[in-house]
Amino acid sequence: MDASSDTAIASLLLDWYDAHARVLPWRALPGTAAPDPYRVWLSEVMLQQTTVAAVKDYFAAFTARWPTVQALASADDAQVMAAWAGLGYYARARNLLACAREVAALGAFPDTEEGLRALPGLGAYTAAAVAAIAFGRRAVVVDANVERVVSRLFAIEEPLPGSRPTIRARADAITPDARAGDFAQAMMDLGATVCTARNPRCLLCPLASACIARLGGDPARLPVKAAKKAKAVRQGRAYWIERNDSEVWLVRRPGSGMLGGMRALPDDGWAARADGSGLPPLAGPWESAGRVSHVFTHFALELNLSVYCGVRFDGLEGGEWWPLDRLDEAGLPTLFAKAARLALAEKEDA
């Protein structure tokens, strides 16, 4: 496709975006002043592998509590991790704090893609998105929605992830010098609302006449994805230790690794590459309370839950007694929140 066609694609898409841009709390609508870089960055970090619907409430809560990057930089680590609980991929929260503190030390966000890449936790996509959307820099922004749009637009047959260099080159060719931020958001919106993974709405697409996959008759076939490997299934055990019918023993997980820095129930050391030991933190007696399942990025976990039925707590270390009536304030990650709900349900049924 020649340069004039690339320019036409950008023009068609921007015209469509001017009329159909999604209204999102972190976004500035077309024709208005650029959004606060802090809000753009925060939203992009939250949106990594997470849906817009899931992020909206978290974004509102974070920006109400920490309205500026300086406020977030001064926040207590435990409070931020608790506020992030349920959003998943907890390394993002640790990187969020590290980045906020570096930006606060610098005085402001860098306004170039290169400068943004130097910040903790900002990969190629996030740096490009913030540079384009917040600072109007020409940057090539490629997320899963853009991969899908470009794969169909140019009928790229090579399976993902091997096709990514080609997709990026094609996206680069159609990214305009002006309004690069609006163009990036237009591509995201097109992929999210029109050029969807299943049943694309080609009749509503502003790029339908230029889409090679549509002309071929089966745009939903693209992008081609390599076959997924079956996920390993790990076995682990968590322990519910209650005192005086009013408190439960919670531990703080190590700062690095799975669910790092989060409060959790004590467990037997399960990991992505190994089953747990099954060794409880206290000598018995224990009773089984059932099992919960959880799927992580690279493995699935079957977590058995044991409830302590003894009266002595000698040997407990590295944790705290947490009031049961404030358990929702502990910021338990989803896996352990499931286990806690199971334990409480068993208690009510007893």
Overall average pLDDT of the 37-60 stretch:
95
Read off the pLDDT band of 257 (50, 70, 90). confident
Q: Which of 221, 245, 267 is the last residue before a domain boundary?
A: 221
Structural domain count, the chain: 2
Range of the domain at 122: 3-221
Q: pTM for the complete prediction? A: 0.83
**Residue 227 domain-assigned (yes or no):** no
Q: How confident is the model at residue 296 (pLDDT cuts 50, 70, 90)?
A: very high
Report helix, strand or coil for 225.
strand
Tell me, rounded to whole angstroms, the distance of Cα 152 from its chain centroid.
25
How many angstroms separate the CA atoms of 142 and 147, rounded? 6
Q: Examine the domain organization and report whether 257 and 139 are in the same domain.
A: no
44 a catalytic residue: yes
96 and 175 together in one domain:
yes
Q: What is the mean pLDDT of residues 249-276?
A: 92
Of the residues 44, 317, 320, 348, which is catalytic?
44
pLDDT tens sequence across 330-348: 999 999 999 999 999 988 7
Residue position matching structure tokens 């968590």: 238
Residues 90 and 53 in one domain: yes
Residue 147 counted as domain residue? yes
Is there a single domain that holds both residue 257 and residue 334? Answer: yes
Same domain, 150 and 279: no
Same domain? 177 vs 116? yes
Phi then psi dihedrals of residue 50, to 5 deg: -140, 145
Q: Supply the CATH number for residue 123's domain.
A: 1.10.340.30
Distance in angstroms (rounded) separating the CA atoms of residues 62 and 79: 11
Q: Which of 221, 240, 262 is the last residue of a domain?
A: 221
CATH code for position 337 = 3.90.79.10
